[in-house]
Each structure stands twice: as C-alpha cells, then as structure tokens.
Amino acid sequence: MRKRKEVKREKEQHKFKSLEALDKYKNISDKEQSLKQYIKEFKKVVENADVVLKVVDALDPLGTRCSEVQRATTRSSYGV
C-alpha cells in the first residue's frame, strides 16, 4: 500500500519538472508553489530580455544544458 502511494507521489512530482506543467495544477505544496513562482518570474525575465546568454561547460556541454530553458528562450524569441 505504501509503495503505491510512493509511486503515485513520484509520478506527481515528475509532472512538475516541466515548465508548462506547473500552470495546470492548483493544489500544490509550498515547495512546488515557490518553484511555480520562480518559473513565472523566469518567463517575465526572458520575455523582457534583449539578449540571453547560454553558458555551458566545455567538458560536458550536454550535461550542463537545460532543455526547458532552451525551449522557453527559443519560444520567446519567435513570439510563440
């Protein structure tokens, strides 16, 4: 029974890992609420920015890249 609850909770937490998924859920914990607020501010900054710099580690470029941030900045630059 506990394992089912843990699995269900993990699935719920996984939903919040994408930027857009946070907008769909209203009943969330304080930690998730602060993450939602952070994402909201991030979107404002990206929309108002003239230039966005992407900094990656030369030894591990794929490991230091955030695809969610890349998608958000690309969408913003094309007005999508």
Q: Is the pLDDT of residue 51 over 60?
A: yes
Q: What is the 3-state secondary structure (H, E, C) of 48-70?
A: HCCCCCCCCCCCCCCCCCCHHHH
Spatial distance between the Cα atoms of 62 and 48, rounded to a whole number of angstroms: 27
Q: In the numeric block, which tokens belong to residue 59?
A: 């030894």
Rounded average pLDDT over 48-75: 85
> 0.75 exceeded by the pTM?
no
Predicted pLDDT at 63: 86
Rounded average pLDDT over 27-36: 76
